[in-house]
Structures are given as structure tokens and as C-alpha cells.
Amino acid sequence: MTNHPRIWLANPLAIYTGNDEEASGGVVISGKTIVELVAKGKAPNDIDQTIDVSDQVLIPGLINTHHHFYQTLTRALPAALNKELFPWLQTLYPVWANLDPDVHRAATKLALAELLLSGCTTASDHHYLFPANLTDAIDHQVEIGKEMGVRLAMTRGSMSLGKDQGGLPPNSVVQTEDEILKDSERLVSRYHDSQPYSMSQIALAPCSPFSVTTELMRDTATLAKQLNVRLHTHLAETIDEENFCERSFGMRTVDYLESVGWLSDNTWLAHGIHFNDEEISRLGKAGVGVCHCPSSNMMLASGIAKVKELEAAGSPVGLGVDGSASNDCSNMIQEVRQAMYIQRLRYGSSEVTHFDAYRWGTQGSAKVLGRDDIGELAVGKAADIALFKLDEPRFSGAHDPLAALLLCGAHHAEAVMVNGEWRVKSGKLVDQDIDQIMFKHKQAAKRLAARGIS
Ligand SMILES: [Zn+2]
């Protein structure tokens, strides 16, 4: 067994551990895990390296549980501005149908870079567009994620219900059920690692009730059980979707979810806005996780998720930036702030604290992904850490550093560690050239938009 150096991140300006442990003196990292929490005024023994973080706020690495990396290519696209979900999707599907491997790679790299720089250490993506020349989109994502050193929770999305069959997406972007299930199996066997501290996991993720067949929902649940992987989909994002379910299946979204075998603690849903009390209680009892996506929900005017009721009922609640065409960025620390503020509109200021928001973006998100090895600072947890400096004008004079990070609006991490490795140092990506990543990405976005509507 190799003896890893013991690194002490010493005396942070403030720390959020996500539990009751006192760690004002910082944390000690060795290898890929946290090995010691240091109480106020104490110093650990046998330290190989001490890093003074007394001018930085230390939090567990943020966990993003829902995204669509490819959408970074269609940010603020004029044709899609000022629309709600269904017309917004109908405008964008034909543009997205022109994705190719080059533009998709550029989008993946940019999204992961942006996430890392905002303090995110675990990234999930929901990729559901597989035009004929992009059948290996998730292979690209895993390859680039490994290169960037981000912990991955990729989901194999799918669409099987084209316009001709009463669905929303154009026929050119849907696949057959057989293609989808075979590829899902291939990806799980190639990339899913279920061990503790896993850097790569795969879940199965039919896109939404309005873009896949009932058979695919059912068969995907069966396959996920067989392969022992998680299930993910969009649900209850809009009233349009609720109407679609009532019209097409004769039931509401949660009844539909149950009818296809998805009402379990193996499932997490993106959005989960339009649930009534009885549905919340059923979701909570079953332990279905919900990824709250505040910016996207505000941008598309979809509504405000009832996250406190969901948590009280037993549902894990995490956060997601959602796709970058409905956010239109991939900044996790900003998303934590947005969550705090949108939820205050629902529950009031005294009922939603900055600790609630931190919890959703860390332990809550970890639970949503079915993981107990990330999301908090404790001995034995993965060494996934984000550090923030309060050195911009927006923080000047702030009193409580932990509250200031959200209230004054942090948007850029000073340092980020994933699985014990530094991925951001002095506010810059380690071993990656952000200017080059952005140059390639801008070219790709231009190329995709120039192809117009297929
Ligand atoms: Zn989404």
C-alpha cells in the first residue's frame, strides 16, 4: 500500500462541512479521501504539506445532478428567446439535430471547464440526442470528463416518440427502442463503476413522457434493475406536460411514473415542479429523488418546485444547472444562490437559509445520485473540495463569510480538488487552457447555428 502525503488545508476563513462536526481548523487529505477534521485552534500530527487557506471559504465540492452539455452551443439563440418549454424545445430540436462529434466534444469540454471553475466536482449530464453520426456521444463525454478529472454521473438519454407518433421531437432525432436498450447496456458495461469513490457512473434516462414510448419507459426500468444502475428523467416540469400525460395516457405524471415501474428510490427526476400534496407524499414514501433546477425554471417560467415539502416527505433534493440553453450558464455556485432565493419566494426568508441551499448543492445532490461517499466533509468521504476567495468588490465588507459566498454572489472558485487531485488552482484550470477551450467552443457554436434548421 502506498503512503500518500498528508495535506492539511489549514484554518479556512469559514467552513461548511455538511454535518455537525467542528472543523474550523480545516481538513486533512491523504490520497483520494479526507482523513481528519481539525478542530478550532488545533494542529494535526504528521503533516507532509500545509496549505494556508485562511483567506478562503471551504465547502464540499458541489454536485450537479442535471445538465445537457450540448446546449452550451445554443445559449441565447435569438429564435428561442422568450418562450416557454414546449415552443422553446420545438424551436431548438431542429437546430440540435445537426450536432456532430466535433461540436459535441467542444460543448462537453466547455461545460465541464465551466462547472469546475464554479466549484463543481461531480457532474451529471443527460444526453438524449443521437443523430446518425453521433451515436457515441456519451463515449466522448466520459473520455473528456476523465481528461478534465471531473467525477462523472452520465445518463444515457433517449427519445423514441417522434412527431409522427404523437411526440414532440422531430423524427430524425429519435431512435428505435432496440437501439436504445442495446446501447444502454453497452455503456453500462463499459463505463459504470459502482465502487466507492467511483469517478464514472452511468444511469438510464429516457428523456421525458412526451418524447419516449410507454414501452421504453417500462423496458428501461427493467434493464436498470437488471444492470443495477439508476433511472433518471424529466418530470412535472410544466403544465403543458401534465396536460400531455392526461391526454395521452389518461393519467397525471406521478401515476404515469408508477404505471411504468419508476416509483422507487432508484429514480431521480429533473424539475419535479407540478406535484400535488398526495403525489409529494407518494414520491417521498418511495424515496424518489428530485433535482431542483431554479435558473431554468425561472427562465422558462415553468414554476417553483416544492422542495421543502418533498424533503419532508422523504425525497432527496439536489440541484442542477439544467441545460445551458435554459440557464444559460453552467455555474454551480450561482445555482446554489438561485435555489436559496427562488425557494424564499415560496417559503419565506426565515424558512430558507444559506445552509439549506448548501445542503441541496452537496449532500442532497449526493443522495439524489445514490452516493454516500461524496457531498460532505467527513473522515472517509472523497476528497472533493471547493475553496472560494472573497476578494472581489462584491464581497468587500461582508461579515459572515459563508453567508457572503451566496448573498454577495460568488461565481468563481479559487481552488477545486476532485478525488484528492487539484483541478483548479489560483482560479485557473490545472493542465487545461481555457482560452483554447473557449476558442474552439465559440467556433463550434457558430458552425452549429450556421447550419440552421434541418
Ligand atoms: Zn433538462
Give the Å distance between the CA of 212 and the centre of ligand 1. 15
Give the Å distance between the CA of 302 and the centre of ligand 1. 12
Residues lower than pLDDT 70 in the chain: 1-2, 453-454
Note the pLDDT of residue 169.
87
Instruction: List Cβ<8 Å contacts ≥24 apart for 350-353.
Output: 351/308, 352/308
Note the pLDDT of residue 304.
98
Give the Å distance between the CA of 1 and the centre of ligand 1. 43
Instruction: List Cβ<8 Å contacts ≥24 apart for 159-164.
Output: 159/128, 159/129, 159/206, 159/207, 159/211, 159/212, 160/206, 160/211, 160/212, 160/213, 160/216, 161/210, 161/211, 161/212, 161/213
Give the Å distance between the CA of 125 and the centre of ligand 1. 9
Give the Å distance between the CA of 329 and the centre of ligand 1. 13
Give the Å distance between the CA of 50 and the centre of ligand 1. 41
> What would the DSSP string read from start to end of 363-404?
IIHHHHTT-SSSSS--TTSB--EEEEE--SGGGTT-S-HHHH
Give the Å distance between the CA of 309 and the centre of ligand 1. 22
pLDDT one-digit tens code per residue, 337-364: 999 999 999 999 999 999 999 999 999 9
Note the pLDDT of residue 454.
53
Give the Å distance between the CA of 126 and the centre of ligand 1. 7
Write down the mean pLDDT value for the chain: 96
Note the pLDDT of residue 452.
76
Task: Give, as residue ranges, everything with CB less than 5 Å from ion ligand 1.
Answer: 270, 322
Note the pLDDT of residue 453.
65
Give the Å distance between the CA of 402 and the centre of ligand 1. 29
C-alpha–C-alpha distance, residues 394 and 415, integer Å: 19
Give the Å distance between the CA of 205 and the centre of ligand 1. 11
Give the Å distance between the CA of 127 and the centre of ligand 1. 9
Give the Å distance between the CA of 148 and the centre of ligand 1. 23
Note the pLDDT of residue 166.
87
Give the Å distance between the CA of 115 and the centre of ligand 1. 16
pLDDT one-digit tens code per residue, 228-257: 999 999 999 999 999 999 999 999 999 999
Give the Å distance between the CA of 51 and the centre of ligand 1. 38
Note the pLDDT of residue 296.
96
Give the Å distance between the CA of 229 and the centre of ligand 1. 20
By the 10 Å C-beta count (0-12 exposed, 13-18 middle, 19+ buried), 408 is classed as middle
Give the Å distance between the CA of 234 and the centre of ligand 1. 6
Note the pLDDT of residue 60.
98
C-alpha–C-alpha distance, residues 230 and 246, integer Å: 26
Give the Å distance between the CA of 270 and the centre of ligand 1. 6
